[in-house]
Amino acid sequence: MVMSPADPDWPKLLSDYEAAIAEFEAVSRALTTTLNERNASEDDFRALILAEERARETVVLARMRLINLWRESGVDLEHRAFRREAIAPKPR
């Protein structure tokens, strides 16, 4: 099945990917802050490290979904119609 840049899956997948990146960055910042403060328990470190691992895996999986959809679609990423601005809902 060939997908077009206008297909509803593109904006959803892009949104999921951006949310995954935001979550990873937030967890990474929390882990960095905890490491710098050096006053957290071993359990706190373990929980943050596990959260960062899960967030990183989510980013990788979301990116793989986008890449796989792109490969299946045959869409030229350089084409102006594919750019985020062209497929994202316009703010009101």
Give me the pLDDT at residue 74, please. 72
Q: Is the predicted pLDDT of residue 73 greater than 50, yes or no?
A: yes
What mean pLDDT is reported for the chain? 81
Give the SS3 label for residue 74: coil
Q: What is the CATH number that goes with domain 9-82?
A: 1.10.287
Q: Are 92 and 36 in contact (CB under 8 A)?
A: no
Q: Residue 76 — pLDDT band, cuts 50, 70, 90? A: low
* pLDDT of 67 higher than 60: yes
pTM of the model: 0.69
Q: What pLDDT does 1 receive?
A: 42
**What residues does each domain of the chain span?**
9-82
C-alpha count within 13 angstroms, C-beta hemisphere, residue 63: 8
| Residue-level pLDDT at 55 | 98
